[in-house]
Structure 1
Amino acid sequence: MADPMTQSTQISSSQGLNDGHTAKSKDSKFSDSFFSSPVSLIQSPQVYDLVHWRDPKKSGVVFGLSMLVLLSLAAFSMISVVSYLLLALLCVTISFRIYKSVVQAVQKSNEGHPFKALMDKDVTIPPETFRKHVDLCLSYINCALKKMSRLFLVEDLVDSLKLAVVMWLMTYVGAVFNGITILILADILLFGVPPVYEKNKTQIDHYIGIARNQVNSTMAKLQEKLPGAMKRCKTE
């Protein structure tokens, strides 16, 4: 007959392993949702059609306005850009209101306020929608905090070294570009890369596969030479 103390120890250890696996699975779910959120946003039907220029007029307007705002931010301060945009919007609405008032006075019509249909629309945010988005943002923030804790406290040496290499490369990027320049380049790539990739998908996937295999083989060689790599493999 087995010792009761031994049985309780085995049960507690198995429960601890199950808890560890559960926590790890939760962390992986959080991290997957956190890092896949930008991809899922780009893959949404509206954004997908927009960046693939399914409607050239709509995509051209969005691309032109976004570039205009970013170039304005590069030349002026954010306060000036926001003020000029709001001032331009006010000039348009006030001019249209005066024009419609003059037309109604000349024609002696009683059409009412020209923006009445827009004014009657409910623009308030429901509390449920606000709480939903707050909870979603909170889950992303918690996931980011967990990831940063893992990386900066060196839970996994290889992942922390990857982050160090990325941050070291970003110092060179920051020496050449500022934040607005990077956003302008990202906007150009967002609207320029998808059509090019769609036309040359086979060749691009072939070269991406070659580069990915090279990176994976290089990382595998580095993991074999790093201390603690064998322990990590046994743990996994």
Structure 2
Amino acid sequence: MLGSGRRHQYNVCLFFPAVKDLIHWRDPKKSGVVFGLSMLMLLSLAAFSVISVMSYLLLALLIVTISFRIYKSVVQAVQKSNEGHPFKMLIEKDVSIPPETFRKHVDASLTYINRGLKQMSRLFLVEDLVDSLKLAVVMWLLTYVGAVFNGITLLILADILLFAVPPIYEKNKTQIDQYIDVARTQVNATVAKLQEKLPGAVKRSKAE
């Protein structure tokens, strides 16, 4: 399962190459801005409601654009220039999403959604008893995590790990892969021992 997780992460990075560049800090300035803004957003959500945070962000954006528009108008009036609207290039820029691009992303997202639905169906309908038991253990552990952390705290931790783990892994890939292989071997050995202790009927149904 660890190997499949790495393959899934690799596929996501291929689908969103810009995300891969951000979390690997290819451009430190851009990654720093995105990380800072995402942390500011999550910390704001931890202190205020979603409606308040979105309203303040949009209000701040409007204040900046309105102030810049008034400033440029005053400068043009004083200098008697005819530069026109300061955001003319942005206004004339086509921001619509092409249907082909939209369909491409929808189709790619649908592939992951269908794969996830099939996996959830397999787990909750107990097609493989061991895999369903693994999910039950994970859900049981998450009940303790949920008792300690709320959703926003987990998102903050996930945001930190998202921008911290990839560069660390990239620099120490060989050593980390060795530890992951050792851990996977131990997990597989433990699962194999548990399967040997399962009732014969269960093992036969699993083999079928």
TM-score normalised per structure 1: 0.78
- 1:231 Cα deviation (Å)? 4.1
Q: 1:41 aligned to 12, 22, 31, which one?
A: 12
Does 1:73 find its partner at 2:51?
A: no
Q: 1:224 aligned to 193, 196, 199, which one?
A: 196
**Conserved in 1, the CA contact under 8 Å of 2:129 and 2:206?**
no
1:105 is aligned to 77
1:22 is aligned to none
- How many residues of Structure 1 are paired with residues of Structure 2 in the alignment? 202
SS for the counterpart of 1:161 is: helix
Pairing of 1:155-234 with structure 2 (within 5 A): 155-227=127-199, 228-233=202-207
Distance 1:145 1:223 in 2: 26
Does 1:143 find its partner at 2:120?
A: no
Amino acid in structure 2 at the alignment position of 1:108: K
Distance 1:140 1:41 in 2: 10
- 1:81 Cα deviation (Å)? 0.5
2:25 is aligned to 53
Distance 2:57 2:112 in 1: 31
Distance 1:131 1:207, change over 3 A: closer
Cα RMSD for the two superposed structures = 2.2
Q: In terms of mean alpha carbon deviation, does 128-137 or 198-207 score higher? A: 128-137
| Greater C-alpha radius of gyration | 1
Unaligned runs of 5+ in 2: none
Distance 1:183 1:217, change over 3 A: same
Identity in percent: 77
1:117 is aligned to 89
SS for the counterpart of 1:168 is: helix
Distance 1:201 1:146, change over 3 A: closer
**Conserved in 2, the CA contact under 8 Å of 1:71 and 1:184?**
yes
2:101 is aligned to 129
**Conserved in 1, the CA contact under 8 Å of 2:43 and 2:156?**
yes
TM-score normalised per structure 2: 0.87
Moved over 6 A (4+): none
